[in-house]
Structure 1
Amino acid sequence: MIQNEMSRRRLLGLGVGLGAAASLTLAGCGGGSATKSGGSAAGNGGKDYTGPKVDLKLWNGFTGGDGDIFKKLVQQFNSEHENIAVAVTTYQWEDYYSKLPGAVSSGNGPDIAVMHMDQLATFAARGVITELDDVAKALQLNEGDFAPTVWKGGIYNDKRYGIPLDMHPLGFYYNKAVMQKAGIDKPPTNSDEFTAALAELKKAGVQGFWVSPFQFTGGMTFYSLLHQWGGTLFDDQVQKATFNSDPAVEACTWLVDMIKQGYSPANVGQDADYLALKAGKNAFNFNGIWQINDIAKDPAAQIGVAEVPQIGSQKAVWANSHNFTIVKQRGADDNKIAGAKVFINWLSEHSLDWAKGGQIPARKEVRESAEFKAIPNVSTLAPELEYAAFPPAAPGLGEVLLTFYNSFNEAALNKKSPKQALDDGVAKANKQLEDNRKKYGN
């Protein structure tokens, strides 16, 4: 479990990884015109491939239980396609994003790369990945098939660079046995029920909701609550940071007060909130959907899963999305490009199988199927897609998001007041956004 959680938590390093990516010059990584036999690089958008056998390299960061399911799906694809062989390489996410630009620049990059939605614009701006509008057309995909934010998140400068595969939001995990000791018979769904439950737990000697100061998962909880109070991280054009607004300060203060009021211990260590939930030391935890497979390993722990409670004035929850991309090569091989598109097409159509890895399918028709609804707990969180707060699509955003999470860290550790921590964070974030505009020309 610790290894699985660590792999997710390492997304914290994305800001550093993207800083390294931005410093690399990728001139020529997609500029080669050499083309091997096979006709147009556009092909037919992934409907089929009838050319000679191609060997494709695929990079991803699925280091948890979802990685095993992903590899099995790739094996199935290979068994069904004699002329396409996909080889999978898996890295920790922060290593993945920092390695990719250099690998592409040196001609050693993958053919297919899985990327989080908030990274697409950066790598598109750096010329690392190529357009996929023809794949979306071949798949007959449009915004109506997805959550609008997920669909639009794959677009940069009016061109599509990512085909959405899934969405992974935060969920609400609760320990039934601990709740029963305090006389609580159902998980809270709103602010009043939440605070009342915490009060009963406190009477029973339990600090019911541990507030993590780290991105995983306290920062993501703050991200969710900020939107629940009606705030945003940035303005509509992602030109200015706005996470020091009154709603943001109120949401941050609410979380910090959990510590001051004794519902959470101070200085919670990384992962300690989730470990305490499983050990029966607390009752509630906001954590990613990826923990569903982990809690299934130990039914005796009596951990339940529900949608994140509505603490603020509206429903909202942090979420991100995995997308498939095709990486630009120095010497474009039309056959490989066509084969890569077939793979993306195939995996998109098999997203129900991918859902078993603890992901919500991006495609609406799959989410609404009886087969998906029968998958325990994963389908429980599917309704969150309707109010999920996805990160915006803007190049260089990783470092700015890291500043946001660090601001919350300072408030949660009582190094600064919520207002001061967020004001300081916004000042730094605005400088980063300005630098990004100069760097990427937006």
Structure 2
Amino acid sequence: MKLSPLVAGVGILAVALTATGCTAGPSSDGPVELTFWHGYTEADGDVLEQIVADFNESQDGIVVTTEINPWAVIDDTLLPALSAGNGPDIVAMPAERLPVYADRGAFVALDDFYADPANNASDVNPGAVDMVTVGGTAYGVPTGFVPLAVYYNKALFAAAGITEPPATWDEWVATAEALTVDANADGTPEQYGVVLPDHATVANGLWPSLFYGNGGDIVEGGDTAVIDSPENLETLQFWQDAIANDKISPTGVDGIEADGIFSAGQAAMTIGGPWMVFIAADNGIDYGIAPIPAGPEAQAASAIGVSMAITDTDDDAKAAAAQEFFAYFLNDENSVAWSLGSGWPPLRTSISADAVAENPTVAALTAQAQFGRPLLPGVVQSVDVLTAVDELTQRAMAGEDIATLLAEAQEKIQAALDD
């Protein structure tokens, strides 16, 4: 069921904005002032701060002021701040959290923004737009959308005489078997071919990626559980056999532990995002990046995303000004600068890998962007849904009966969606 409105003054936008794409000018009271909350603190934060500074310098009708906090702090404090009337005008957050706030009427609808070609948004990656769409309405502008990928240890590949990363599931397992080393034959390899965490995985996207690859899914239409399917049964049986029986990957590990196993040189392949570049570099690993291998039905990878949104304070001037900043953020120059600075692929499909070729990692991920799928788009109860998936996959890789586990997960996920 729908949640009740937050507070008076934070309601669902009743009148469509007509000022999208306009150029704001200073009023007699001065420029429109916008507060922007975000959690970017590394090199990406430096680039974002520069884009904001350049935007403020580019015109005299709008001033954007940023406030930086950890993402978890933003999530914890946004609703109380909006209730008190001192929240941000623009907020960035992990995309899986956006539906929670959109469902409560906290954000301005942005369909008109996407409809106006002047806003540089007509060619934003469709998966990234799906990521910020709730109930058929777009409520955000992505700042990041990157599919998970295979990161592999080139030295271990070379030592095994393997020259190319795998392209299909069968090749993936065969490659992992060739890279798994159990020198003392005690049943516990000293080196695994791959480390595939079975719970608390990288942004919870590994197992959805595998479900997609065999034609399965978790939730359909934002409100219907579809995890208990023949396709997902087949997927879990395939990987249970490869992991629990063939021991190509350790079991019982989470995403953080998987990063540690790969960084220690104890696994030849792992699944991750752009942060793996820094983990590999810090540990002296010469790495390569490849797409998640194609499953029997599709080549697909769950994508990690972050999005900006406009808080609905019934101030049309601020909403229009925020959209002008979004259009500036998405222009050609800033699209390239942001991609290179954040390490994520360009958000717009017209920005090619050649445009970011100076960063080989970004170029590689840009070439893979076509495989990205949003994780649980529009699902308000995503946390509860992913908790049920975590339990399913961990127990499945431990060897439990998959059909029983899928039936239990179906019931739990549907109950969460109906809540």
1:49-64 mapped onto 2 (5 Å cutoff):
49-51=24-26, 52-63=30-41
| Alignment counterpart, residue 163 of structure 2, candidates 180, 185, 196 | 185
Aligned partner (choices 335, 341, 360) of residue 323 of structure 2: 341
Q: Is the 8 A contact 1:69 1:354 kept in 2?
A: yes
**Any gaps of 5 or more consecutive residues in structure 2?**
184-190
Compared CA separation, residues 160 and 238, structure 1 to 2 (3 A): closer
Change (3 A) 1:338 1:276: same
Partner of 1:285: 270
| Post-superposition CA distance 1:257-289 (Å, at most 9, x none) | 313322222322541222222221110001123
1:371 corresponds to 2:355? yes
- Structure 2 distance, partners of 1:263, 1:152, is 34
What percent of counterpart residues are identical? 26
DSSP-derived class of the 2:215 partner: coil
How many Å apart are 1:302 and its aligned residue? 0.3
**Aligned pair 1:44/2:19, yes or no?**
yes
Cα deviation for residue 203 of structure 1 reads 4.3
Quick check: 1:104–1:328 contact (8 Å CA) kept in 2? Answer: no
CA–CA separation in structure 2 for the residues paired with 1:85 and 1:94? 26
Instruction: Report the structure, 1 or 2, having the larger helix content.
Output: 1
User: Per the alignment, in what secondary structure is the counterpart of residue 201 of structure 2?
Assistant: helix
Q: Aligned in 2, Cα 1:334/1:242: closer, same or farther, shift over 3 Å?
A: closer
Kindly provide the CA deviation profile for residues 91-149 of structure 1, in whole angstroms up to 9, marking residues without a partner as x. Answer: 44344333222221221211001244444333222010112234334444698613434
Give the match's secondary structure for 1:360: coil
Partner SS for 2:149: strand
1:212 and 1:218 in contact (8 A); partners too: no
1:224 matches 2:204: no
CA distance in 1, matches of 2:112, 2:225: 34
Q: CA deviation at 1:54?
A: 3.5
- Alpha-carbon distance change, 220 to 157 in structure 1, aligned in 2, over 3 angstroms: closer
Q: Is the 8 A contact 2:20 2:113 kept in 1?
A: yes
How well do the aligned residues superpose, as a CA RMSD in angstroms? Answer: 3.1
2:336 maps to 352
Q: 2:109 aligned with 1:124, yes or no?
A: no
Q: Contact between 1:112 and 1:325, CA under 8 Å: does it hold in 2?
A: yes
SS at match of 2:165: coil
Superposition TM-score, scaled by structure 1 size: 0.81
Q: Which amino acid aligns with 1:277?
A: F
- One-letter code of the match for 1:125? D
Cα distance in 2 for residues equivalent to 1:114 and 1:251: 35
Secondary structure of 1:292 counterpart: helix
Shift in alpha-carbon separation, 1:153–1:181, aligned structure 2, 3 A:
closer
Return closer, same or farther for 1:135/1:99 CA change in 2, 3 Å cut-off: same
Closer, same or farther in 2 for the Cα pair 1:23/1:412, shift >3 Å?
farther
Q: Bigger CA drift: 141-150 or 91-100?
A: 141-150
State whether residues 243 and 426 of structure 1, in contact with CA within 8 Å, keep that contact through their aligned partners in structure 2: yes
Number of residues paired by the alignment? 403
Distance 2:174 2:397 in 1: 22
TM-superposed CA distance for 1:325, in Å, is 1.3
Partner of 1:12: none
Look up the SS of the partner of 1:409 in the other structure: helix
Amino acid at match of 1:351: S
Unaligned runs of 5+ in 1: 1-21, 34-39, 436-442
Seen in structure 2, the aligned counterparts of structure 1 residues 364 and 32 have a Cα distance that, compared at 3 Å, is closer
Q: What is the CA deviation profile of residues 7-59 of structure 1, one whole-angstrom value per residue up to 9, with x for unaligned ones?
A: xxxxxxxxxxxxxxx877513133599xxxxxx99463244221223432112
Relative to structure 1, the CA distance from residue 189 to residue 115 in structure 2 (aligned partners, 3 Å threshold; closer, same or farther) is same
Give the structure-2-normalised TM-score: 0.85
